[in-house]
Amino acid sequence: MNKLNKEFNIIHLVVDSFEGYLSKIPKNFSGKNLFFEGKIDHIQNISIRLDFIEFINHYLRKMDVKIEHLKKLWTMLIKDSVTPVEKNTFLDFLVRKKDPKNPQRKNVTYILNEGLMKELFDEIFFNSNLMNDYNIDL
């Protein structure tokens, strides 16, 4: 896994694939009608990509998600979101905890380590450009 990631930077590729996918979504998409790419609907598409980032990050020897990835995802999935689905799914991803039932994981921790969570606050939550017009639909 590390060899492949070193050669291809897998997380970077997944983040870039988000951009390609989201560019295909019609701007008038309300979320009420289904948008499919292949056999996967919009909600699944967003969730699977985020789950894959978590999976890759877990199996690398060192955490490879960087603040640049989070900023890009934030812009695409929060700031420029088409529906509340992107916002809520990404925010759930940010605060998700690792599965305590998995015996390989000794402690229940957040997917993002403490340093990256601090950067998230410093560089995204306290950044007026990224937080401009931020509105979460609950």
What averages of pLDDT result for each successive group of 10 residues across the chain (138 residues)? Answer: 75 89 78 66 87 80 79 90 85 75 57 80 80 58
Q: Which of 85, 67, 40 is nearest to 123 (CA)?
A: 67
Strand partners for 40 = 37
| Per-residue confidence (pLDDT) for residue 73, from 0 to 100 | 93
Do 41 and 35 touch, CB atoms closer than 8 A? yes
Length of the chain: 138
- Please give, one letter per residue, the 3-state secondary structure of 62-104: CCCCCHHHHHHHHHHHHHCCCCHHHHHHHHHHHHCECCCCCCC
| Per-residue confidence (pLDDT) for residue 106, from 0 to 100 | 54
pTM of the complete model: 0.76
